[in-house]
Amino acid sequence: MKLSQAVDLYVQRKRDAGLRFDGPVNRLRSFLRHCGDTDLRRITTQQVTAFLDGSGSMPSGWNGKLGTLRAFFDYWAARGRLKTSPLPSARKVTQCFVPYIYTRSDLRLLLDAVPHCQRRAACVMSEGTFRTLLLFLYATGMRLGEALQLRLVDVDLMLGIVTIRGTKFYKSRLVPFGPDVERHVRLYLHQPRRRNQPHRPLFQTKNGNPISALVAWTSFARLRGIAGIERHDDSYFQPRLHDLRHTFAVHRLTEWYRQNADVQRLLPALSTYLGHVSLSSTQRYLTITPELLEQANLRFERYACGGADER
């Protein structure tokens, strides 16, 4: 079996099972270009190693390529198309990625810096749009792509609910939001020169067009620099826009501990709210922060000392 045929069949069967599979497809196509359309059984460990260590071999990229190829080779080995997997036995030592959890002070610095960030005439996003987008992402825990694809018809300000359609796992979900978000969105919708027809984007450029993810990412990188927020650990990445989603999850969990809520019962609700298919996906978002650790320790102390809280 040729590698191109193996890739096409594997991708088709994954998509037939309901997976979007975009990331693995890109990696497998890249691997095909790297090896050429050789026979599947002729792929060598040296070829695989060269691909893993090639361009874009930052920790997350290296691990992503490794995971995709392991699943691909295991699939065909289980069906008798491969005798052994050509994956290298030694694994590259990589740093475990830890998201940046913004403090409330960080969030204030970011919002205060928005006017300075969007002051340039070349900015395609207005100050009000960028500020509302940041508040919306933090308050809802939404993925950036989900927020940028929203249309006005998807936002029910009377009920305080957003309908997210065609998400990462081809599912739609309802995301409730509170009165603070409603107030900010209402003010945003009354900005001059907005196009407020039902099927127009919620977040628009100054010309009323959809905002691209690239514009949002580059704007945030500029904003972070102006606000002076940076990491001083060994992480490959500086604080990212996507880290607002991680921050939402951690702050929500911290607040539940502070309120003495039944965290174990509420975690599945958080998972559903974030659009995850399993609790294990949500657990990757729950980075331990000093504030979260303090609240968890207080909960344990109450339990250990014979308090009523035994949840």
- The residues assigned a catalytic role are 143, 168, 242, 245, 276, 285
- Residue 244 carries which side chain, given as an amino acid letter? L
Separation of alpha carbons 250 and 262, rounded Å: 15
Residue 155 host element (H or E): strand 155-156
Separation of alpha carbons 56 and 76, rounded Å: 26
Strands 173-176, 155-156: pairing is unpaired
DSSP 161-214: EEEE-S-TTS--EEEE--HHHHHHHHHHHTSTT----TTSBSSB-TTSPBPPHH
The set of residues, in sequence order, having a beta carbon less than 8 Å from that of 295 and lying 6+ positions away, is: 254, 257, 258
CA pseudo-torsion sign 260, 160, 147, 128? negative
CA atoms within 13 A on the CB side of 110: 24
Token pair 């960080």: residue: 106
**Can you give the C-alpha Rg of the chain in angstroms?**
23
Instruction: From residue 94, give the alpha-carbon distance in Å to each of 11, 20, 121, 192, 235.
Output: 28, 27, 42, 49, 11
Residue of 41, 32, 44 whose CA lies nearest to 7:
32
- Residue 97 carries which side chain, given as an amino acid letter? F
